[in-house]
Amino acid sequence: MFLEAFRKSGNLSASARRAKATRQGVYERLERDEGFKAAFDDAKRDANESLETEARRRAVTGVLEPVFYQGEECGRIRKYSDTLLIVLMKGNMPDKYRERVTNEHTGEGGGPIEYKHSGHVDLTGLTPEELMRLYNEEVNTPS
């Protein structure tokens, strides 16, 4: 019952309540039952596809909204969602429509980042923990 409800709604809490289960119980079963996890993943894919289908419908086909005149409905107008269309395009064609952001790091006053060290040190054989210890020593050493 939980999986059927989750497949339709995509809402774990509501689906658990409908199946007279708890969120925690669902999470625990997901951890210990591979068959349930596979069925859950399948239901989640179906729920997500339903969302995408509805988003596509609203973006491309649009929805009819009533038009009122003097308090009375006098017709309908089709409205489309440009926002949903943009989201779908970014998701389905990210190479073409993704946001392009460039981050640059600079030192004081926009200049180059200065690194002060006391000679050449070969760091290639050090573990991440050793590198972090050296970094912390360098940062916390008074100039």
Amino acid present at 121: V
Structural domain contains residue 26:
yes
CA dist., res. 18 & res. 10, Å (int):
13
Number of domain units in the chain: 1
- Expressed as residue numbers, the domain containing 14 is 2-97
Structural domain contains residue 45:
yes
Structural domain contains residue 58:
yes
Give the single-character DSSP code of 71.
T
Structural domain contains residue 40:
yes
Confidence of residue 143 (pLDDT cuts 50, 70, 90): low
Q: What is the pLDDT of residues 52-98, one digit of tens each?
A: 999 999 999 999 999 999 999 999 999 999 999 999 999 999 999 98
**Comparison of pLDDT for 29 and 114, the residue scoring more:** 29
What is the C-alpha radius of gyration for the chain, rounded to an integer number of angstroms?
27
Structural domain contains residue 107:
no
Structural domain contains residue 122:
no
CA dist., res. 18 & res. 36, Å (int):
17
What pLDDT does residue 69 have?
96
SS (H, E, C) 90-130: HHHCHHHHCCCCCCCCCCHHHCCCCCCCCCCCCCCCCCHHH
Structural domain contains residue 119:
no
Assign 53 to helix, strand or coil.
helix
Nearest to 88 by CA among 65, 60, 61: 60
- Is the pTM of the predicted complex or chain greater than 0.75? no
Confidence of residue 105 (pLDDT cuts 50, 70, 90): confident
Task: Find the angle CA(137)-CA(139)-CA(143) to the nearest 5 degrees.
Answer: 100
CB-CB neighbours of 72 under 10 Å: 7
Decide if 5 contacts 20 (C-beta within 8 A): no
